[in-house]
Amino acid sequence: MAAPSPIQSDFDDDAVLVTLPESAPASDGARSSPEAMAREIQRLISEARRSGDPRFLGYAERLFNQQASQGLTDPLLVLRATLAQSLHRFDAARQDLETVLDRSDAPAQRTQALLTLANIEMVQGHYDRARPLCEQLTAEYPGLIASSCQAQVAARTGSAKAAYNELTAATRSLSNVSIQGYLWAQGTLGDIAAQLGRGSAAEHWQRVLSQDPDDLYTRAQLADWYLQNRKPRQALVATEGYEAVDNLAVIRAVALHRLNHPDAPALASRLRERFEEALWRGSMLHQRDLSRFELDIEQRPKDALQHAMANWDTQREPLDTRLALRAAIAAQDNTALGQVRGWLKQQNQSDARYPEES
């Protein structure tokens, strides 16, 4: 009864398969100028982040494909790197960002390139590469965003308490703080507080969401924190209305499952079909979401571990590492468990969210 419906591949010529979003690009033509193209691509990336709909990333990629790479301006290279990062093409993103840093003197482009490159290195667990980038960002663009960058590296390499205290002090001492810098710092403080096992994590993330409800990254962090702290009903509140976003939908499905909610089977079935279709298309971007679904809903730890480790090979944020540890423990795979724990020891990284710490 819970099996996914067969995937259809034969349709009538006049069948409507999907309705594109209203804010899709109006034409296939290239933008009229580099500036206009940059504005359009920025809009599409922002819409993808706001809605969680990956089609907007595809629209942006199509625009880039219509332009010769050698003719791209520095702002367009930064945007192409941001797009590549969103599509988990980290090496391509890194190449574009390094090109901008090598040739540009424009403060805005250098700042964004440094920040994005530092973020890529942190996502992949390359803290030795991220640290000098954060230091360079502090030298060229001091403020809460740069302080957050340095705090995040410090927290993930053995100095979480000091990083939390220093960033908290910075939020109170700096004047003329932009709203963007404030929200960035609050998000970072939430992550470090969760790493330290402090309840204040939720307060920091809620401050971000009070200003930007569609910050999907922060919303997922908060909802996941609720689940980890045995508050599935709060996780349902945080994920309500976001079932179209894979990671939030999986968190919601886990919360419903733990509550034995009558809506649990229906959401699980929809997610099952969604993941089956993504695998069939060969467009499985979110291995972490699939792994968690396999582990917490399908109860298939070996399959979950396969996807968790494939994800962990390229993404090593705390939630990626936590899932890899959980899946390895559930699958009783000491090789995978030893690999992750060995890396954590090498980085001097501990986290209250990890199974052996909770």
For the segment 42-90, what is each residue's pLDDT rounded down to a tens digit?
A: 999 989 888 888 889 889 989 988 877 767 899 999 999 999 998 889 9
**Average pLDDT of the residues of the chain:** 89
pLDDT (0 to 100) of residue 3? 43
For the segment 300-334, what is each residue's pLDDT rounded down to a tens digit?
A: 999 999 999 999 999 999 999 999 999 999 999 99
d(CA 159, CA 147): 14
d(CA 287, CA 275): 10
pLDDT band for position 5 (cuts 50, 70, 90): very low
Say yes or no to pLDDT of 195 above 90.
yes
pLDDT band for position 10 (cuts 50, 70, 90): low
pLDDT (0 to 100) of residue 19? 54
pLDDT (0 to 100) of residue 200? 96
pLDDT (0 to 100) of residue 21? 54
User: Cβ-count burial of 8 within 10 angstroms (0-12 exposed, 13-18 middle, 19+ buried)?
Assistant: exposed
